[in-house]
Amino acid sequence: MPFILHPRLAAGGFDFGVHRGCRVLLKNNAIFPWFILVPEVGEEIEDLHQLDAATYQNVTRAIRDVSCFVSAHFRPGKLNVAAIGNQVRQLHIHIVGRSPGDPAWPGVVWAFEGKQPYDSASVEEVRAAFEEWIRSGHP
């Protein structure tokens, strides 16, 4: 069965393509540098530990790569990395750059209502930086 991105994830972010078998999304909330990875696996998989060992390793490497990009590009004070999925059950992993003084600090972004959509120039800037990061072999 072909992989279908959950409509709520698709609607909430910008698709940056596939890295190590994971769809990479930039969440459309410019308040935080916030990426979401969606492993392109069957919908019966809702939790990371349900992945077979090889896919699990691949997904955790993708998490590391995108974490390194967020850290290097946005220089946040801290990363928050989480697989939650209580509402959208399709397996997805949040990678969020956090900084003391951001509007949700020190709370978690998943309990924070604030939103600020990106303008398209900013999205393209982040996309170009991400693509260059991948292309240059940083991961």
Q: Which residues of this chain interact with its own copies, rule CB under 8 A?
A: 46-49, 56-57, 60, 63-64, 67-68, 71, 78-87, 89, 98, 105-108, 110-111
Which letter does DSSP use for residue 2 in this model?
A: -
Q: 109 φ, ψ to 5°?
A: -70, -20
Smallest gap, in angstroms, from Cβ of residue 65 to its own copies?
8
Which letter does DSSP use for residue 42 in this model?
A: -
Which letter does DSSP use for residue 101 in this model?
A: T
* CA-wise closest residue to 37 among 11, 68, 16: 16
Which letter does DSSP use for residue 87 in this model?
A: S
Smallest gap, in angstroms, from Cβ of residue 73 to its own copies?
13
78 vs 117 by CB, closer to its own copies: 78
45 vs 123 by CB, closer to its own copies: 45
Smallest gap, in angstroms, from Cβ of residue 72 to its own copies?
10
Smallest gap, in angstroms, from Cβ of residue 110 to its own copies?
5
7 vs 107 by CB, closer to its own copies: 107
Which letter does DSSP use for residue 21 in this model?
A: T
